[in-house]
Structure 1
């Protein structure tokens, strides 16, 4: 388990949500860590575009691939919530 404190930004017009890292374990490795979720297409059939912006604190730090499963899980939960609200 890890701790991650973030600030969430919503852009409803463009259907984009950003999770900007503020504190926690991930911030020990990265100066910047932002997960970006962009929901594209129709409400009932769309695509979620995911990206992670990051800046390493040190060149030896690996890319944050270990967080991809968490990002994917978040999209699955958002999808289920959107379908339910549909």
Structure 2
């Protein structure tokens, strides 16, 4: 064997390593996008479920309990009812 075969083998190994690393990086990017897309879909479904429940309970137009009272209005206590 001469030195050229060894150089070709080293270059071939380096090329294959670079190819595999690049392929793995692309796969990881794809998986990250797929995971983010799935999370977005789940959030959308959760929001829709919350809206459906609010509609069923007849609270479509009422503010959430954490919303501050409107100006000039006092919050109602249990004693006021």
Note whether the superposition's TM-score is higher than 0.5.
no
Q: Max radius of gyration: which structure?
A: 2
What TM-score do you get using the length of structure 2 for normalisation? Answer: 0.29
- More helix by proportion, 1 or 2? 2
Tell which has more relative contact order, 1 or 2 (C-alpha 8 A, sep 6+). Answer: 1
